[in-house]
Each structure stands twice: as structure tokens, then as C-alpha cells.
């Protein structure tokens, strides 16, 4: 079963050691990534690949619609470990245009675990309903909700104890809200937050930089 994948794995491993014989030896004992990636599970958005990073360079958490719900122990544990133990310098929360999870949030009709999971994204939609409705077509509505969702999730993340404690201790830590365009593979910055950012002063979540 899945012999093709195992063959690809063997070729990949061989290729890595041909270029750098110590590659796996170095990674065996420790990882020291500078970045935490929080992204969507979508197969078209493979975290390491789209930012050109090797194993060991990116700590990754992915879920449907790149949400950061404050009650999700999985995401909170990844964040805590990345910031407190691995001491990453950058947390990147990356959404993507054409996101199926965001589309499902808009269209409704979901059931079971997916429906419960998307409750967090529905809250974002309700808070920005007017802006989303004002977009010219369905694709534009989805893509704007994708962007607003990234900014809201990042603001929630920034308020967590893990992050506020790191900021208070003057640790080097920056938070980035990105959107990836699956049409051309490019990333755009939507929001950046550091220790000096006035979270309460952000009346709207879209202090768009680019």
C-alpha cells in the first residue's frame, strides 16, 4: 500500500543527504525553528514549501480556516510550546484566498464537528457582515472574509497570556497576519503586531499595512 509515497520518501531522503550529508544528523538532537506557522489545512497551502523552509525551520499548526479559538487546547499548546520552549521570534498566521472553510462559513449548511469548529469564523462574519455584503461577487466576499478572519484571529492570539507575557518580558517576538493567494502563490501582509502595538486602540482590526 502507498508504495509510491514510500518510494518518493526514499528518494527525498537520499536527495537531502546527497546535498548535505549531515542534514538528518543535525536535526536528530534538536529543533530550533525561528517561526511558528498557523495556517489552513488546505492541501494547496503547504507551509514549509511556500516559504522555502527546510525541516527544522518552521513549527507548524494547521486547521480548517486557520482559526485561533481561545478554548482550543491543541492550538494553545502549540503556541505555548513554540513561544516558551522553542522561543520562536515570529508567529505567522496565514489565511488563503479561496478558502473552503471560509466559504462554508458564509454559505452555512454545515453539520457535526465542522459546524461546531466554524462557530469561531461565523462570529467574525457576523461582526463584518456589512463589509462582506458590500463586495461585488461571491469570490470577493470569500476573499475579504479570509482577510478579515486572519486579522481577527491574530488579534485574539495577541491577547493570550503566552504572548502578553513574552511581550512584557521584552522577548523578541513579532506577530504577522498574512494571506496567501492560491492564484499566483504570493503572500501579502495584512497586519503586524509587536509589543508596542496598542491592541485596544485598534478600533477596526484591519490596520492594513500593504
- Positions that interact with Co ion (CB under 5 A): 40, 42, 99, 101
Distance, in Å, from the CA atom of 140 to the CA atom of 132, rounded to the nearest integer, reads: 8
Closest to Co ion by CB, 40 vs 124, is 40
Q: Which strands form 90-96's sheet, in the order they lie side by side?
A: 58-63, 35-40, 90-96, 174-181, 186-193
Helix, strand, coil share (%) of the chain residues, nearest 5: 45, 15, 35
Residue in 42, 128, 144, 176 annotated catalytic: 42
In angstroms, what is the minimal distance from the CB of 168 to Co ion? 33
Considering the complex, state which of residue 105 and residue 155 has its C-beta at the smaller distance from Co ion.
105
Rounded Cα distance, 19 and 205, in Å: 45
Closest separation in Å from C-beta 193 to Co ion = 22
Q: How far apart are CA 156 and CA 123, in angstroms?
A: 12
Q: Is 40 a catalytic residue?
A: yes
Q: Which of 96, 128, 144, 155 is catalytic?
A: 96
Q: Which is nearer to Co ion, 83 or 118 (CB)?
A: 118
Tell me if 75 sits within 8 A of 68, measured CB to CB. yes
Q: Where are any strands of DSSP class E within 76-146?
A: 90-96
Residue 94 falls in the annotated catalytic set:
no
Q: 88 vs 105, which CB is nearer to Co ion?
A: 105
> Phi, psi (5° rounding) for residue 148?
-65, -40
Report in angstroms how near the CB of residue 30 gets to Co ion at its nearest.
31
Q: Catalytic: which of 40, 128, 144, 155?
A: 40
CB of 99 to Co ion, least distance (A): 3
Is 137 part of the annotated catalytic residue set?
Answer: no
What is the closest distance, in whole angstroms, from the C-beta atom of residue 123 to Co ion in the complex? 17
Among 14, 26, 44, 204, the active-site one is 44
> Which residue number, 79 or 99, has a Cβ lying nearer to Co ion?
99
CA distance 70 to 67: 9
Nearest alpha-carbon partner for 159 in 114, 118, 121, 205: 205
Active site residues: 40, 42, 44, 96, 99
Amino acid at each position: 500500500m502507498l508504495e509510491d509515497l514510500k518510494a518518493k520518501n526514499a528518494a527525498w531522503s537520499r536527495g537531502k543527504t546527497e546535498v548535505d550529508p549531515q542534514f538528518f544528523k543535525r536535526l536528530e538532537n534538536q529543533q530550533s525553528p525561528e517561526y511558528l506557522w498557523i495556517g489552513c489545512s488546505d492541501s494547496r497551502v503547504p507551509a514549509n514549501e511556500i516559504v522555502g523552509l527546510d525541516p527544522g525551520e518552521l513549527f507548524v499548526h494547521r486547521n480548517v480556516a486557520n482559526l485561533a479559538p481561545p478554548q482550543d487546547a491543541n492550538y494553545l499548546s502549540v503556541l505555548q510550546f513554540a513561544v516558551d520552549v522553542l522561543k520562536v521570534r515570529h508567529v505567522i498566521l496565514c489565511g488563503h484566498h479561496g478558502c473552503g472553510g471560509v466559504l462554508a462559513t458564509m454559505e452555512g449548511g454545515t453539520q457535526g464537528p465542522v459546524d461546531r469548529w466554524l462557530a469561531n469564523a461565523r462570529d467574525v462574519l457576523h461582526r463584518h457582515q456589512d463589509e462582506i455584503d458590500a463586495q461585488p461577487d461571491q469570490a470577493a466576499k470569500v476573499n475579504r472574509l479570509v482577510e478579515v478572519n486572519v486579522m481577527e484571529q491574530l488579534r485574539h492570539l495577541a491577547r493570550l497570556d503566552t504572548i502578553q507575557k513574552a511581550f512584557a518580558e521584552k522577548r523578541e517576538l513579532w506577530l504577522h497576519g498574512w494571506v496567501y493567494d492560491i492564484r499566483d502563490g504570493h503572500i501579502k501582509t495584512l497586519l503586524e503586531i509587536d509589543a508596542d502595538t496598542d491592541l485596544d486602540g485598534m478600533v477596526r482590526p484591519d490596520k492594513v499595512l500593504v
